[in-house]
Amino acid sequence: MLNLPYTGSVSVTLAGLTTTARVSFGSAALCDRIVLSGAPAASAEAGRVSAFLDIVRRNAGSYARAEVEIASNFPIAAGLASSASTFAAMALAATRAAGLSLSKRELSVLARRGSGSAARSVFGGFVEWYAGESSDGTDSFAEQIAPPDHWQLGVVVAITHEGPKGIGSRAGMAHSVKQSPFFPVWLQTHDADLEAVRRGVAERNLRLVGEAAEHNCLKMHGVAIAARPPVLYWTPATLAVMQCVWRMRAEGIEAFFSIDAGPQVKVFCPIAQRPVVAHALTTVPGVQRVLLSEPGGGVELVETA
């Protein structure tokens, strides 16, 4: 699967929310052995990782089975880009274990094959993913548009549900594209939002970035909600956090939210206001905990055999 996006996008890689992947080839087993968060991966998860490893094996001219251990320090399959983090880490770990040395752009293209947004997670800081035009996906990759220290941006993640979401990001988007009357409108207005975010990052203009990102987020979820049957990722606490952010803005605190395909809410604010924002979010009914973050680095090799 090429995992080509309908549109380009800009993201920020968050510090402190990490995934570690350990990969070694040469197992005598008949199939890959995949351990996820300390337990054998379920068949669907194992199949997805093995399919990704097959791409690496083809590139390396190898048939060796692999031993894989993957662990994240944040909730997985819960709307916090755990798949993106996983396959960005897997792209680097698996290619190095197979004896390959890929450029960051090549890693981005490879990571995209496992999870579309993993193309961005290869890089740190502020990242743009290009939709590309080629049918083979070779021009759909990400690149860093600003390093982490370009902008000292505060991020507070409100966790409103710890368990996995009911429908995955890929399945939810595929359904919404086919079944929502709002998808074409979202697509037509997306480039203007993207340009505003791109310019806002360059200028370190939180209001410009925040208003565009928040509006685009609500349009995306509106597309999903309007599908038949609807796709609704939000919990009551998700809505309560959104309302809390709006109240804080009315009171002069520069805070804006974004929500991926899941119930968790990412709130962006000046780094100096992060403690105030975090405290406000912890008082919202239904918020289980908050995570503090800021722009962080991309994939890196931390251990070699």
Structural domains in the chain plus CATH codes: 9-147 (3.30.230.10), 149-293 (3.30.70.890)
* pLDDT digits 0-9 by tens, 15-32: 999 999 999 999 778 899
Residues 122 and 141 sit within 8 Å (Cβ to Cβ) = no
Which has the closest alpha carbon to 6: 145, 172, 130, 169?
130
Interval 96-123: pLDDT, tens: 999 999 999 999 999 999 999 999 999 9
Q: What is the pLDDT of residue 167?
A: 86
* Cα 110 to Cα 113: distance, rounded to the nearest angstrom: 5
Please provide residue 111's backbone torsions phi and psi, each rounded to the nearest 5 degrees. -60, -35
Q: How many CB atoms lie within 10 A of CB 253?
A: 15
- pLDDT band per the 50, 70, 90 thresholds, residue 275: very high
Residues 6+ apart with CB under 8 A from 174: none
Residue 80 has pLDDT above 70, yes or no: no
What is the model's pLDDT at position 29? 82
Average pLDDT for the chain: 94
pLDDT tens digits along 219-254: 999 999 999 999 999 999 999 999 999 999 999 999
Could you tell me the pLDDT band of residue 35, with boundaries at 50, 70 and 90?
A: very high
Predicted model pTM: 0.93
Between CA 241 and CA 37 the distance in angstroms is 29
Nearest to 168, CA basis, from 32, 76, 38: 76
Question: Around 271, how many Cα atoms within 13 Å sit in the side-chain half-sphere?
Answer: 9
pLDDT(165) > 90: no
Give the burial string for 274-290 (b: 16+ CB within 10 Å, else e): bebbbebbeebebbeeb
DSSP secondary structure code for residue 105 in this structure: H
Q: What's the token pair of residue 256?
A: 């804006």
What whole-number distance in Å separates Cα of residue 77 and Cα of residue 75? 7
